[in-house]
Amino acid sequence: MTIHTPVLLHEVCSFLDPESKLIVDCTLGHGGHAMALLALAKNAKLIGIDVDEHMMNKAKEIIGTKDKEQGTRISGRIQYVRGNYTDIQNILWWKKADFILNDLGVNLEHFKAVERGFSIRWMAPLDMRFDTTQATTAADIVNKYSIDQLQNIFEIYADFSSPKALELAQHIVTTRKQKSIITTHDFKTVLNECGLGDKACTVIFQSLRIETNKEMDNLKTFLSAFPETLNSGWRCLVITYHSIEDRLVKQSFNELVETWKYKLVTKKPIKPSYKEVAANRAARSAKLRIIERI
């Protein structure tokens, strides 16, 4: 079984008040952060949100197994909610959270699950959806977006130069007129024909994943919604992995501070230690920002 290693776990836990009563984990994943937080806050309950039904079921399985092995009752303190963290206000309804964690990273299992099409390494349908009930797949974007739309994705999310992004977009559109691009192999072949190696292909795949799941739009919605759900004197933590994500969080937090109702817990983002990056390469680009409602 593939088990995802939670990023910045020690750091996240160090900012938790053990007296917290309600914790929200916006991206439950395999439940690594959730289990550690509940082990520290003995009287807390946790709302675990995840848009991916498979991931939610895996979390229940992992946490249930831990309970049996260790004689704990963590699973009994978790409310599992399949949904998007953008809907945090409706999910909490009238409740206020003491501690909100939103880890924006992609679970390792998404890359290991060949059939879901997140990785350049294996032949699979070009899917990339976290929420498999949503209509639009990555293949739909590649085969239907205009040259301008594709160019914008590669420029903004992959940080490619405008000429190179345009070249990629034009070649994709030319290729799909002859044959639809429906698998990861099809898409990677198109990128290879434009001179991209595996490293560059990975970045383009990432940009397509971001667009498929509307990740930046979701983050913007969350950042405008979470302040109404946070108790006074308590904290919200966001872990980003992309420069655009981090910029959005930084700007939003700074705007909240200007209202005099919030304060930054740390002025600069917290980054993983050298030891953590050596043990878990997926953590290398992580940045943790924390804000507290006064």
The answer on 152 and 71 residing in a single domain is no
35 part of a folded domain? yes
| 146 phi and psi angles, rounded to 5 deg | -75, 170
Does 126 map to a domain?
Answer: no
Residue 114 in domain: no
Write a three-state SS string for 75-120.
HHHEEEEECCHHHHHHHHCCCCEEEEEEECCCCHHHHHCHHHCCCC
- Beta strand 262-264 with 287-293: parallel, antiparallel or unpaired? antiparallel
Q: What angle separates helix 184-193 from helix 198-212, to the nearest 10 degrees?
A: 130
Domain end among 168, 186, 212: 212
Runs of H (alpha helix) within 157-197:
162-178, 184-193
Question: In the listed set 212, 243, 267, which residue is the last one of a domain according to the structure?
Answer: 212
Residue 78 lies in a domain: yes
Q: What is the structure's pLDDT at 115?
A: 80
Entry field: residues in the chain = 294
Residues of the chain with pLDDT under 50: none
Q: Give the type of residue at 200.
A: A
The answer as to whether 119 is a domain residue is no
How high is the pLDDT of residue 258? 97
Both 35 and 105 in a single domain? yes
DSSP-assigned letters across all residues of 190-217:
HHHHTT--HHHHHHHHHHHHHHHTTHHH
- Domain membership of residue 91 (yes or no) is yes
Report how many domains make up the chain.
2
- Residue 147 in any domain: the answer is yes
Whichever domain contains 191, its CATH number is 1.10.150
In a domain, 203, yes or no: yes
Domain containing 206 equals 132-212
pLDDT of residue 238: 98
Do 102 and 235 belong together in one domain?
A: yes
